[in-house]
Amino acid sequence: MRFRTSWYNHTERVLIVIALILVGIWSIQQLNWLDLMAELLNFWQWGQASFSNVVSSLHVLLFPSVLGVAAATIAIHAFPSFPPVWVRVAVSSIVVLLGLRYLTWRLFITLNFSDFWNGSLSLLFLAIDIAGFVVCVASLCHMSFITNRSPQADRLSKAVIAGTYCPWVDVWIPTYNEPVELLRRTIIGCQAMDYANKRVYLLDDKRRPAMRSLAEELGCVYLCRPDNRHAKAGNLNHAMKQTQGELIVSFDADFIPTREFLTRTVGFFQDPQVALVQTPQTFYNGDPIKHNLGLGGILTNDQDLFFRLVQSGRDTFNCVICCGSSFIMRRHAVEKVGGIPTETLCEDLLTSVKLQAAKYKVLYLNEALSAGASAENIGGYIDQRIRWGQGTLQTLFCSLNPLTMPGLNLVQRCFYAIGILGWLLTGLQIFSLLVPLGFLLLGLMPLKAEMDELLFFWLPYYLINLTVFAWLNGSKRSSLWADVYANITCFPLALMTVKTLMNPFGKGFKVTPKGVDASGVAVNWQVAYPLIFTLGLYVIALAVHLFGLQWEGKPVSPGFSIFWGIYNACVLAIAIQVAIDVPQEVLSISFPHQLSCQLILGDRIIDGHTVEISQKGAKIQLDSFPTNYPSDTVSQIDIPFLELKTLALICLPSRTAKNGTKIEIEFVSLTLEQERRLIEFLFCRPGQWQETPVSEFKSFWALITSVFRLYPLAETQRVNSNAITTLIKS
């Protein structure tokens, strides 16, 4: 069956190519392409002549730029947070108008057709600008029309809390190769949800005895299947046949819900047309970018913008995307559309498409009701995005293509088309890196412009984009860091795009590693090599150009080209640092909590308080501590707030501070009940996963300092120093 399907898909693609060739031959015969090209050339020459008269009076263009930027600035200061829709639309319109003004100038004034190579690069550069404008408009649409369902959840949850609407809920935890420790706290967190009519299932797709034992110990239902056909989608479809709950919740193996997850989401299903409710995916550890750069308190997680804003914008038009975890769905609706789709790697995306095409509602509740582990190293981070990109592009080659599938309206198709386009354009960042090199190394001139023209046309559009983006997204993402993220992923994602378009179903499902060994610093050379090579070209190009080599012709201002080259070199330097994975321990991640405690050493009781607490131990600060007390000594710790009194191993020697002595302890013999209380306190408290706004100034300063700070190298030195110290002591 698999061979027949593969043969059919290959034959279908060949027939499509043949059909396109035949259509092209017919078009050439029917249309006079020379006349068409002549008309386009005449239009371009007319526009160039018309716009040149305007450009010759640049002072005339100053007024609309100043007026637009001033109007946007006034609106931003008048509505610093949660602006009404009309204000969002008005400010977004200013951005769009300045963008159209910039593109008109680019089209009619800046193209350089002096020879083939300059013309080709000039058109390519224009295409990059147009693509960037399309993405900008799409982002403005997402951020201008947002839906807040929290008041609706407040109202609908009353029936759930009162017990008048409590349908049976099956809680699924699909797993493949995640460690027992990770699953342990996920199961305990799911069992702690405040909802009586629920049953927790562990869906083990690797048939591991350790998972079966874990399920028996914690009291959840263990399910497995004889094969791994269709990966995660197949696992979920198998569970669909083995369970009976009216509603189904699915959490990835690393995601832990807060206690109120079900009370906040179940109420929406009182509307029979609601098929699925997605909630944000928040993360209790930093993504590799901010972790490897040591910017955990400054940058937000890479996915925060999508989950905390974009999805709310999509909700306005009923095109919310199911994201594979932290969602709840109606069994009958999913069964009615044929179950979880298996056609692509993104079964969650296609689940949304099928439900929306069947006229069901897919809603988004923008409340952080769960938290999971972000990718733990840069390799996992990129693999994750390759899987998402490949799965999204695969929709173009299957029967569930959202661009052609019956049932979706035009707006929904447009939103899905923008999502697909975003993955197709990932490789354009490579060309953004190559354009300045073309000028600096080869003397190519893709942009004919003087500095004053750039100040009038490009600068207002760029500055208002920076300002408005941060304002509209509520400081959830700094646009200043967009190029860093893009440079890190552009080479592997461009390769993924080419491979997927050539062979859409050539690569299978790959699970993002969780609980990996993170004890030492590691360089991901696969990510680093193309970045290092490109940075090397920039160093050579800037050195050669700054030593006085001049090009003929009228290029873009040399000062601007050098500035652009220096900017790209700095961004590449930061991206290379991100490729150096700094150790982080997700399985025993600690959180800052100050709770009163007592350390019991024999017959002596020492008062203190916790500084950080993890699932495995704590850092505590004591009022006093015996001098030269040996480490690796078993004592007893009592934390009354957690009703936690247990044996503790003193792991590190004491460090005396001004206000007491700090030590680290490891819990030795927690009972299951104590472990449950600890996990519920660390991960399951309602409202604990709050957003942290990002200051644009702090983001800008972090961008500047990250070039020279070399945090991964400093961490490498620290880790090596600690290893030597440990070796000497042993």
Render pLDDT for 446-463 as a digit per residue (tens, 0 to 9). 888 777 778 788 888 888
Q: Using DSSP bridges, classify how beta strands 644-650 and 660-667 pair: parallel, antiparallel or unpaired.
A: antiparallel
pLDDT of residue 175: 95
| Six token digits for residue 382 | 């990129």
What confidence score (pLDDT) does residue 519 get?
A: 58
pTM score: 0.87
Rg, Å, the chain Cα set: 29
Report the C-alpha gap between 579 and 562 in whole angstroms: 26
Q: Which two tokens stand for residue 691?
A: 């957003």
Whole-angstrom distance, CA of residue 510 vs CA of residue 334: 25
Intervals of CATH 3.90.550.10 along the chain: 150-374
Amino acid at 616: K
- Could you tell me which CATH number the domain at 150-374 has? 3.90.550.10
Question: SS3 for 568?
Answer: helix
Element (H, E) at 4: helix 2-30
Cα 12 from chain centroid (whole Å): 34
Q: Which of 489, 468, 488 lies closest to 479, judged by CA?
A: 468
Distance CA 318, CA 718 (A): 50
**Cα 32 to Cα 30: distance, rounded to the nearest angstrom:** 7
Q: What pLDDT is stored for residue 32 in this prediction?
A: 53
Q: Is 398 exposed, middle or buried (0-12, 13-18, 19+ CB in 10 A)?
A: middle
Q: Which pLDDT does position 531 carry in this prediction?
A: 95
Q: Which two tokens stand for residue 648?
A: 């503790």
- Could you tell me where in the chain the CATH 2.40.10.220 domains are found? 590-683
Q: Write the CA distances from 26 to 17, 39, 352, integer angstroms.
A: 14, 21, 39
pLDDT of residue 249: 98
- Dmax over CA atoms of the chain, in Å, equals 99
**What is the model's pLDDT at position 555?**
46
In 3D, which of 385, 386, 387, 394 has the Cα closest to residue 344? Answer: 394
**10-26: burial string, b at 16+ Cβ within 10 Å, e else:** eeeeeeeeeeeeeeeee
Contact between residue 400 and residue 353 where contact means Cβ atoms under 8 Å apart: yes
pLDDT under 70 in the chain at which residues? 1-65, 507-520, 547-559, 586, 627-631, 652-659, 716-730
Q: Which two tokens stand for residue 73?
A: 């600035």
Domain at 590-683: CATH code: 2.40.10.220
What residue type is assigned to position 504 of the chain? P
What are the φ/ψ torsions at residue 180 (nearest 5 degrees)? Answer: -60, -40
